Structure 1
Amino acid sequence: MLLKKYILFLWAATMLLLAGCYKDKGNYDYHPINKIYSGIAKDTFVVFQFDTLNINTGIVQTAPDNAGVSYQWLMYANSGGGRYLLDSTANLKRLITMTPAWYTLVFIMKDNKTGVTYDKQLSIKVISATSEGWMVLENKNTYSDISMITPLDSAIYGIYSKANPNVPLSADAHQLYTYSRGFGQQRILALSKTGGKELSTLTFSVLTDIKDWFFVTPASLAPQIYYVFSTDERLISNGKPYGISTVMPSPYKLALPPAGNYYMAPYNLSSILGPVFYDTIGQRFYIQDPYTYELMDFRKEANAGAFEFNKSTGKSMLFAGAGVADNTCCLMQKNNSDSLFVYTFVSAGQQNSFGRDVKPLQTAPGLSTAKARFFSLLLPQLYYAVNNELYLLNLLSGVSRLIYTFPAGADVSKITMRISEPNKLLAGVNNGNAGTVYYFTLDATGEPQGGKYTTRFDGFGKITDLNYKPAR
């Protein structure tokens, strides 16, 4: 009897439950949530520094909603450091300025309706396309910029302005210089008429200002040339040589220039054994004491050559630079005359330097007013340009000849070559505000092979300097 009552109770409870469910008109259908997938096929990307990283995601949604999807691209350096928000769009298109290294890139997708997030993790290798190549200093009217031509014959434009969007390079920048200090510490310097900057060799971002380079910063700055010889460095500013010896302990700062009434020509006449200067006031050569930095005469033995270092030459210096082998060559013009000469000497310290030759030039049209000149590092020759014409001067005969004509209206602003490639000549050529770099491969006589250029690179501003940045 008790069992029957229990069964009846269970039956009644079940009926009531079923009846309650029957009366409930609620919608209890289950709808699948929106799932988001990226269509990125690979996990590793390689990009050049200062190039654009493009990643198309090919997003797929299983149940799209009007609320849409939010995106973030976050990049982290694998070696530690900061986090970079690259973009907040479905597809990535971003200029990469980070230091060359491995990075992790996380692509985050968030469903705005449900708040559910999905992510895709990628590996990014940033490599330097600017570790080696010809740096091009170019004027862009109100500012200057730096581009580069790589050894793979590709041009990377606007490197400086991309790395320093808020620190413009002065419009009157005129020299780029790269060298290694001490144990391979590479430096890049950019000089302008009243200032200068040191740039990172990796990112081209500004590291220091010229005012930080001195023990005592001069009241006025007019930097003309910076150069290195052996373990010493020199900056000629306002005709005064400021020096650093890296043999001494750091900090490496430019010392005060020597006292005296002089104005040094802005050319590197020095050798591995010591600094040599040409005073444009006294029109004579000087050396510099390596410890006190005072100007000194050459010893008597050094004056037994073709000319005497310690006496006035009676000539102004138009140009000077390294020549073949251990020669230093100087283009000179006699006072109150159109007569030109090339002085050649060996710079080997106070005692062993000697004047090797004084050569009068016979026929060299336009040489005295040429804007671009360069002594060959392969043969006893001088390249120079007058407007759109490139000439080659034979230093032995003193006679020049026309070897190439650029397009009408062009103006050659720079001629140079590398000591490791003396059979290749570069010319920076401007036509209005547009600049082009020409490469020439030279034949055995020093002329362009076949009378043609090897290759050319367009798209620069007005070119003011060319300097080679070697690999670190």
Structure 2
Amino acid sequence: MMNRSKVTYILTALLLLLGGCSKDLGNYNYQDVNKIEISGILEGDHTTNRIFEIPYKDTLTLNPSVVGTLSQNDMSNLEFSWMVDSIKVAASKDLVYVADKRYGRINAEFSVLDKSTGLTTKYNCFFNVVNPYKWGYYALTEDKEYNAAIYCLSTISKSPKWESIFMPTYPELGKNPITLSGRKQYGSSASDFYNILTLGVKDAVNPVVVIDSREFTPTLFYSSSSYLGTGSFVFKPTQVVTDPLDKMVYVVNNGKFHVLQKGIIPIGAFEQSDYEIAPNGIATPFRYGKYFMSIYDQKNKKIRVWGNGMSGNSFAYTHDYENIPGISLPDGKEFLACSFAGIPSINQIYLFKDGNNLTSYRLDYDASYTPSQLVMQATGSMPAAGNIGYVFYDIMTDVWYMTVGNTIYSASYMGVQFQKFLSLPVSEKGSIVKFKAFDGKIMVAVNDSSAAKPGSIYIYNAKTMQLEQSFPNILDKIVDVHLGILED
């Protein structure tokens, strides 16, 4: 048995220990750590939300804000480092970086070392080095010798100006340009896209070229050797149309219709038939696109509808629907334009002129997916005296547009009652040759043959209809334009 003195000693020791612990409570000093916060540049929860777009050879300047929770703006104990593509490019808070090493998405890291604590705070991001012509306003021109050229007003360059685009891998575009069109190719977000452009030039080694705007390099070539048929074939297209909803290019060569895809030119539709497609005469397909196509045959003065009998052989037309009820309604009228239409019960729509009168027609399909009838849709009058410059149907708004002189007129597909839509500044003496509306902008191209540089460009805000940029008489004769910009 433990004696009394030993028990007393143990209890006393425990009390002293407990008392000491209790006595020390609240006497510890908790010192805050100086936490470094980086702000003032792109923020986001993930590095993919912090992407800086830099045109190749342009300079990116970043001035981040660096603040310590204790040191505030005192940076005397801080060391900075900028790493780009795993190479240290700066030892300062601010970065001035010339993007002249390579294209593509490059890793970048900003580090702040607090020497007083030994802790490092990092900010990671991407520098996406792109061709300055990846996004922009594009214009296809021809000079007095009919040489084709592409110009771009970049929307990602810091000092935007119209510049001629030179492609080292394809330096000679050819002569007698026809068209420049395209579509967007999206990545992971609405702002992650580039433009796929289709260039058409009648007299060229490759009359049709598909171009990737990321480095502005051709990716598909179409030439006479691309033809699948036999015998003599010379590829000199007079029309080149990009399908707005599919990866197809439609061309008219020697009057005949061809569907281009994957670098191949198939045998023309009804190649042995005696027909010739009119300018603006391709009504690209919509709901029944893989099975039906409509064109206007200017040689025989008639609307023609082609199909493949729902065989599943996409875009290969083998059946000519010649006896559609109402198909002769436009006889004797001057054809202006046609298009597919994004309207319920209407597949294709056509516009004709007879003197001062305008008439539109629609092509209906029945429940068995065959063309059932051509019906008069609406009538109206010419909006103004003068030569018609450009007519087209906007599938996004279901509106007809027509240019006369330097004024654009518009009309609903329901009425064809054209009203003034936009007039260029009174100082402009030329006539509108093309215009396109996209991503909240309206781009208008004008040619004035009396000027040394006939081509002018006007850019309007489509929401306010206010003129935002004007470039009078800065380009050669303009043939076509295209918009490939980030929407406001």
Q: Name the TM tier (shorter chain).
A: 0.5 to 0.7
Partners of 1:176 and 1:467 within 8 A in 2: yes
1:177 matched to 2:181: yes
CA deviation after TM superposition for structure 1 residue 224, in Å = 0.7
**Structure 2 regions of 5+ residues with no counterpart?**
1-51, 62-83, 87-95, 109-125, 188-192
Determine the C-alpha separation between the residues in 2 that align with 1:279 and 1:170: 28
CA deviation after TM superposition for structure 1 residue 252, in Å = 5.0
Determine the C-alpha separation between the residues in 1 that align with 2:304 and 2:335: 11
Find the counterpart in structure 1 of residue 370 from structure 2.
351
Judged with a 3 Å threshold, the aligned counterparts in structure 2 of structure 1 residues 264 and 49 are, in CA distance, closer, same or farther, namely: same
Determine the C-alpha separation between the residues in 2 that align with 1:359 and 1:173: 35
Determine the C-alpha separation between the residues in 1 that align with 2:194 and 2:468: 32
CA deviation after TM superposition for structure 1 residue 52, in Å = 4.3
CA offset digits 1:26-81 (Å, max 9, x no partner): xxxxxxxxxxxxxxxxxxxx7733554599xxxxxxxxxxxxxxxxxxxxx969xx
Find the counterpart in structure 2 of residue 236 from structure 1.
252
Which of 323, 327, 340 lines up with 1:308 in the alignment? 327
1:410 counterpart letter in structure 2: G
1:385 matched to 2:403: yes
Find the counterpart in structure 2 of residue 25 from structure 1.
none
Judged with a 3 Å threshold, the aligned counterparts in structure 2 of structure 1 residues 353 and 237 are, in CA distance, closer, same or farther, namely: farther
Partners of 1:230 and 1:272 within 8 A in 2: no
Please give the secondary structure, in 1, of the residue aligned with 2:295. Answer: strand
Determine the C-alpha separation between the residues in 2 that align with 1:312 and 1:341: 8
Determine the C-alpha separation between the residues in 1 that align with 2:338 and 2:317: 22
CA deviation after TM superposition for structure 1 residue 276, in Å = 1.8
Deviates more, 1:406-415 or 1:344-353: 344-353
Which of 186, 202, 213 lines up with 2:214 in the alignment? 202
Judged with a 3 Å threshold, the aligned counterparts in structure 2 of structure 1 residues 151 and 330 are, in CA distance, closer, same or farther, namely: farther
Judged with a 3 Å threshold, the aligned counterparts in structure 2 of structure 1 residues 164 and 353 are, in CA distance, closer, same or farther, namely: farther
Find the counterpart in structure 1 of residue 151 from structure 2.
146
Determine the C-alpha separation between the residues in 2 that align with 1:357 and 1:425: 30
Determine the C-alpha separation between the residues in 2 that align with 1:160 and 1:400: 37
Name segments (4+ residues, structure 1) moved above 6 Å: 92-95, 151-154, 183-186
1:438 matched to 2:454: no
Bigger proportion of residues as helix: 1
CA offset digits 1:217-273 (Å, max 9, x no partner): 8224124123335565422223211125x7xxxx65120112210012344412231
- Counterparts of 1:44-443 in structure 2, within 5 Å, are 48-52=54-58, 99-102=103-106, 126-141=129-144, 142-150=147-155, 155=160, 157-158=162-163, 160-161=165-166, 163-164=167-168, 167-179=171-183, 187-194=196-203, 195-211=207-223, 213-216=226-229, 218-228=233-243, 230=246, 233-244=249-260, 253-257=264-268, 258=270, 259-265=272-278, 266-269=280-283, 270-273=285-288, 274-282=292-300, 283-289=302-308, 291=313, 293-298=316-321, 303=324, 307-308=326-327, 313-323=331-341, 325=343, 327=346, 328-334=348-354, 339-346=357-364, 351=370, 354-366=373-385, 369-377=387-395, 381-393=399-411, 395-406=413-424, 407-418=427-438, 425-431=442-448, 432=451, 433=453, 434-442=455-463
Determine the C-alpha separation between the residues in 2 that align with 1:319 and 1:252: 28
Deviates more, 1:95-104 or 1:408-417: 95-104
Judged with a 3 Å threshold, the aligned counterparts in structure 2 of structure 1 residues 356 and 166 are, in CA distance, closer, same or farther, namely: closer
Partners of 1:224 and 1:238 within 8 A in 2: no
Partners of 2:307 and 2:321 within 8 A in 1: no
Judged with a 3 Å threshold, the aligned counterparts in structure 2 of structure 1 residues 214 and 186 are, in CA distance, closer, same or farther, namely: farther
Please give the secondary structure, in 1, of the residue aligned with 2:199. Answer: strand
**Root-mean-square deviation (Å):** 4.4
Partners of 1:179 and 1:188 within 8 A in 2: yes
CA deviation after TM superposition for structure 1 residue 435, in Å = 1.8
Deviates more, 1:252-261 or 1:394-403: 394-403
CA deviation after TM superposition for structure 1 residue 175, in Å = 0.9
1:389 counterpart letter in structure 2: T
Determine the C-alpha separation between the residues in 2 that align with 1:256 and 1:187: 25
1:385 counterpart letter in structure 2: T
Partners of 1:414 and 1:466 within 8 A in 2: yes
Bigger proportion of residues as strand: 2
CA deviation after TM superposition for structure 1 residue 317, in Å = 2.0
1:466 matched to 2:481: yes
Partners of 2:358 and 2:416 within 8 A in 1: no
Please give the secondary structure, in 1, of the residue aligned with 2:177. Answer: coil
Partners of 1:364 and 1:398 within 8 A in 2: no
CA deviation after TM superposition for structure 1 residue 213, in Å = 4.1
Please give the secondary structure, in 1, of the residue aligned with 2:370. Answer: helix
1:202 counterpart letter in structure 2: R
Partners of 1:391 and 1:402 within 8 A in 2: yes
CA deviation after TM superposition for structure 1 residue 375, in Å = 2.7
Q: State the identity as a percent.
A: 11
1:284 counterpart letter in structure 2: I
Please give the secondary structure, in 2, of the residue aligned with 1:262. Answer: coil
Please give the secondary structure, in 1, of the residue aligned with 2:327. Answer: coil
Judged with a 3 Å threshold, the aligned counterparts in structure 2 of structure 1 residues 178 and 470 are, in CA distance, closer, same or farther, namely: farther
CA deviation after TM superposition for structure 1 residue 191, in Å = 0.5
Number of residue equivalences: 350
Partners of 2:149 and 2:164 within 8 A in 1: no
Determine the C-alpha separation between the residues in 1 that align with 2:351 and 2:295: 14
Partners of 2:334 and 2:353 within 8 A in 1: yes
Determine the C-alpha separation between the residues in 1 that align with 2:437 and 2:372: 26
Determine the C-alpha separation between the residues in 2 that align with 1:197 and 1:97: 28
Judged with a 3 Å threshold, the aligned counterparts in structure 2 of structure 1 residues 381 and 313 are, in CA distance, closer, same or farther, namely: same
